Amino acid sequence: MIRFEHVSKRYPNGRDALADVSFEIGAGEMVFLTGRSGAGKSTVLKLIALLERPSRGQVWVNGQSTAKLSSRRIARFRRGIGIVFQDHRLLQDRPVFDNVALPLMVADVSLRDLDRRVRAALDQVGLLGRERALPPELSVGEQQRVGIARAIVSKPPVLIADEPTGNLDAALAGEVIGLFRRFQEAGVTVLIATHDLARVGSVGCRELTLRDGVVVSAAAGSEEPLPVIVAVR
Amino acid sequence: MSGRIANWGVRHGHACVSTIGHLARHGLASVLTVLAIGVALSLPLALQVLVDNVGGLGGELSDSVGLSVYLKPQVSEAAARQLAATLRARRDVARVTVISAAAGLTLLRQQSGLGAALDALSGNPLPNVLEIHPAATATSPSQLETLRAALAANAGVDTVQLDRDWALRFNAIVALARELLVVSAALLAAGVIAIISNTVRLEIQGRTAEIEVTKLVGGSNAFVRRPFLYAGVAYGAVGALLACAIVTGVRLALAGAVADLAAAYGSHFALQGPGLREVSLLIGSGVVLGWLGALLTAGRQIARLAPQAG
Ligand SMILES: Nc1ncnc2c1ncn2[C@@H]1O[C@H](COP(=O)(O)OP(=O)(O)OP(=O)(O)O)[C@@H](O)[C@H]1O
Ligand SMILES: [Mg+2]
């Protein structure tokens, strides 16, 4: 479902964020992408969502090589990927409902379906009833969950999340991971970047660890929390 | 097929809602833009209305246009009356008055006080003359010239004199106003495009966060652009309506003064319009200009906005 083949990424400022990264995530799999701050986790996610292009190597998503996508096709391609951002990227002056509805609007979903599906997504993240609130009126954790609702509302086959539990307390973090687990059980391929796996636990999922832009371990999932990777922010 | 139409409806429904919401949130800026467009469009509209009105005056003026046809001395009065009758049948001729040589001499005697000197002449030196008034529909310079040439071509005609200075000047002024109208309309159309381009550019800059996020969740450039095109069209259309209101207001305000002026010249002239034709033409132009202005900016600006790989 997601495949990196010898991918390197050098940012325009000369910084090498990834060096020869290869891995594969099967359809319906849930994988944690770990590594300390600056290891290149967000870069991996950006390459998947085509927010950046690889300097070398190839990225395959949904059986499609991202290298061959024309700018016209990128929009459609992105509709197949739900993205939860590290900084949530909510529209601060639009109510929760509008924020969550956006991926449906760009996909030309009719207004009636839109209403139903937005409510269903908000229900899943426990925010039903807050449709009219503006993001600044929500707590940071609630904003994070609005971001998750937006990522899943269009039922994309691939879900990528950058530090989705970063601002949540342990209980909420566990709930959110449980939420991702449910999406995975429904057949969604999930990739979660976090520097804080110790806190949430890998819940039996595979873990990919990056250090300085290189994959250093691709541990098989275990029910036990994996060794702590020191979080430096 | 019906699915595609429904889809189209959904898409444009979203864009409309988005546009209206945005215009409502940015009330003052939108009002100022509409005001600028309205003022810009009211100038060519006012000129158009003026030209239409004054062009109609040409009919009233036809009375002041005349051609004097001097017949050759050997042409008899009977032949002159015969010629007058043929000329009256022409479509571009309204009236023909025959001033016979004898009548001309009497007039000259009365008006010049040269009675004694004229008495000294052996015969009547004056030719028969036809005074011709062109039809109201035939007072343009080219039509008058055609008529003059036709008259001059008659065998018995010596010279044709066109008493046309003031009619010609008037027609020339109307023609100039028409050209001015075309030039000003072109310039102001460019101005309106610039105003709308700039407004849309500022709006895009004010909504970069929204545009970026929309593109992140899979919004195509066309999707992102659509509400801005709608806004451009709305600006153009509402601005055109405002221009119509301005020009109508000015016309009503001037009605009294125009009536006084017309009365002084013994005319019933009153300003008309802008009529349905002008109004619909202007709104159509406003829509096209708005769409163009928005398209010119939005296309480039939105494609350039992040997310980078987009
Ligand atoms: N747009 C950019 N331009 C230049 N360098 C960048 C850019 N984005 C990231 N980098 C660099 O690339 C490296 C990897 O960054 P990345 O954001 O992928 O790390 P990360 O693992 O997500 O870290 P964190 O846990 O702090 O979010 C860092 O050294 C960073 O400075
Ligand atoms: Mg990061």
We find that the CATH architecture of domain B66-162 is 2-Layer Sandwich (3.30)
Give whole-number Cα distances, A57 to A108, A189, B201, in Å: 34, 22, 38
What is the per-residue pLDDT for A150? 96
In terms of C-beta density within 10 A (0-12 exposed, 13-18 middle, 19 or more buried), how is residue B153 classed? exposed
A17 CA to centre of ligand 1 in angstroms: 6
Average pLDDT of the residues in B256-270: 80
What is the per-residue pLDDT for B23? 67
Picking from A195, A163, A11, the residue whose alpha carbon sits closest to that of residue A87 is A163
Give whole-number Cα distances, A79 to A50, A53, A62, in Å: 12, 18, 12
What is the per-residue pLDDT for A218? 67
Of the partner residues A79, A80, A110, the one whose CB lies closest to the CB of residue B10: A110
Task: Inform me whether the C-beta atom of residue B214 falls under 8 Å from chain A C-beta atoms.
Answer: yes
3-state helix/strand/coil string of chain A: CEEEEEEEEECCCCCEEEEEEEEEECCCCEEEEECCCCCCHHHHHHHHCCCCCCCEEEEEECCEEHHHCCHHHHHHHHHCEEEECCCCCCCCCCCHHHHHHHHHHHCCCCHHHHHHHHHHHHHHCCCCCCCCCCHHHCCHHHHHHHHHHHHHCCCCCEEEEECCCCCCCHHHHHHHHHHHHHHHHCCCEEEEECCCHHHHCCCCCEEEEEECCEEEEEECCCCCCCCCCCCCC
In angstroms, the CA A4 to CA A74 distance is: 18
Of the CA atoms within 13 Å of residue A223, those in its CB half-sphere come to 0
Q: CB neighbours of A227 closer than 8 A, spacing ≥ 6?
A: A198
Provide the greatest CA pair distance for chain A: 49
Residue B239 Cα, gap to closest chain A Cα (Å): 28
User: What average pLDDT does the structure give for chain B?
Assistant: 83
Pocket residue to mutate for ligand 1, from A43, A51, A88, most atoms within 8 A of Cβ: A43
What is the per-residue pLDDT for A201? 73
Picking from A183, A218, A176, the residue whose alpha carbon sits closest to that of residue A201 is A176
In angstroms, the CA A198 to CA A110 distance is: 42
> Chains A and B: how many Cβ contacts under 8 Å?
77
- Hey, are the CB atoms on B218 and A103 less than 8 Å from each other? yes
Q: How many CB atoms lie within 10 A of CB B169?
A: 10
Domain spans, chain B: 2-61+168-304, 66-162
Average pLDDT of the residues in B164-190: 83
What is the per-residue pLDDT for A180? 92
pLDDT digits (tens, 9 = 90+) for B83-103: 899 888 888 888 888 888 888
In contact, B162 and B148? CB cutoff 8 Å = yes
B309: confidence class by pLDDT, cuts 50, 70, 90: very low
Average pLDDT of the residues in B191-195: 94
In angstroms, the CA B136 to CA B64 distance is: 10
In angstroms, the CA B207 to CA B201 distance is: 10
Residue B34 Cα, gap to closest chain A Cα (Å): 25
In angstroms, the CA B83 to CA B71 distance is: 10
Picking from B215, B91, B77, the residue whose alpha carbon sits closest to that of residue B147 is B91
pLDDT digits (tens, 9 = 90+) for A154-186: 999 999 999 988 777 888 888 888 889 999 999
* Segment holding B66, helix H or strand E: strand B66-71
In angstroms, the CA B22 to CA A133 distance is: 18
Exposure string over A137-157, b if 16+ CB within 10 A, otherwise e: ebeebbbbbbbbbbbbbbebe
Sheet of A81-84: strand order equals: A81-84, A158-162, A189-193, A30-34, A206-211, A214-219
In angstroms, the CA A209 to CA A220 distance is: 11
A95 CA to centre of ligand 2 in angstroms: 26
Question: Which residues from chain A sit within 8 angstroms of residue B218, using beta carbons?
Answer: 75-80, 103, 106-107, 154
What is the per-residue pLDDT for A131? 92
Of the partner residues B13, B213, B223, the one whose CB lies closest to the CB of residue A89: B213
Closest atom of ligand 1 to A13 CA is: 4
Average pLDDT of the residues in B5-32: 69
Of the partner residues B6, B214, B310, the one whose CB lies closest to the CB of residue A106: B214
B14: confidence class by pLDDT, cuts 50, 70, 90: low
- Hey, are the CB atoms on A108 and B10 less than 8 Å from each other? yes
Atom 28 (ligand 1) nearest CA: A38
Atom 13 (ligand 1) nearest CA: A17
Structure tokens at A28: 């319906």
Q: What is the pLDDT along chain A (233 residues), one digit of tens a residue?
A: 899 999 999 999 999 999 999 999 999 999 999 998 889 999 999 999 998 999 999 999 988 888 888 777 888 899 999 999 888 899 998 899 999 999 999 988 888 899 999 999 999 888 999 999 999 999 888 999 999 999 999 999 999 999 988 777 888 888 888 889 999 999 999 999 998 777 767 778 889 999 888 888 766 554 444 333 333 33
Give residues (CB < 6 A) around ligand 1. Answer: A 11, 13, 15, 17, 35, 37-43, 86, 195
- Hey, are the CB atoms on B210 and A94 less than 8 Å from each other? yes
What are residue A66's phi and psi, to 5 degrees?
A: -70, -15
Write the single-letter amino acid at A135. Answer: P
Residues 95-134 of A with CB under 8 A from B: 102-103, 105-111
In contact, A131 and A118? CB cutoff 8 Å = yes
Give whole-number Cα distances, A163 to A176, B106, B189, in Å: 11, 113, 52
The helix/strand/coil state of B71 is strand
pLDDT digits (tens, 9 = 90+) for B51-77: 888 776 665 655 566 788 899 988 888
ipTM: 0.85
What is the per-residue pLDDT for B146? 87
- Hey, are the CB atoms on B6 and A76 less than 8 Å from each other? no
